[in-house]
Amino acid sequence: MITGLRRLVSFTMIAPIVGGLCAPALGADAAHGGVIAKRWCAACHVVAADQHSANADAPPFADIARRLPDNKAIAAFLTDPHPKMPDMSLTRREIDDIVAYIRGLGPTPPLAPAEPGGVDVERPKKG
């Protein structure tokens, strides 16, 4: 019984440390997404602010970031290519990286309101 308890205590102490070490490897890498976008997408899309020309029929990535409401919508856009877009056979990781890159080009999401109902109320100061 005591051995089992020691194992449980050891596991609960070690698991968060190991999980914390692995977590950064699991997140999307916007910088890598930018590299992929510049290599594969820039022939048709404007993928960066310093790019000056692209196919007029292909929306710039910044427009995609503004038009598509969330990461899932952008991922769907990448995984289900439209007729003029070639099937790039991107991996899930590459899609996540490109989504992070595109999301970084768009407007920042609005902050949640401080008070219910969306109204900030200045509270009277005590004193």
Task: Give domain status of residue 92, yes or no.
Answer: yes
User: Taking the model in full, what pTM does it have?
Assistant: 0.63
pLDDT tens, position by position, 32-80: 999 999 999 999 999 999 998 889 888 999 999 999 878 999 998 888 7
- Three-state SS string over 34-87 comes to HHHHHHHHCCCCCCCCCCCCCCCCCCCHHHHHHHCCCHHHHHHHHHCCCCCCCC
pLDDT of residue 4: 55
Question: Total structural domains in the chain?
Answer: 1
Structural domain range at position 87: 27-105
pLDDT of residue 19: 46
| DSSP 8-state assignment for residue 27 | S
Look up the CATH number of the domain holding residue 37: 1.10.760.10
What share of the chain in percent tops pLDDT 70?
61
Task: Give domain status of residue 86, yes or no.
Answer: yes
Mean pLDDT, residues 84-109 taken together: 87
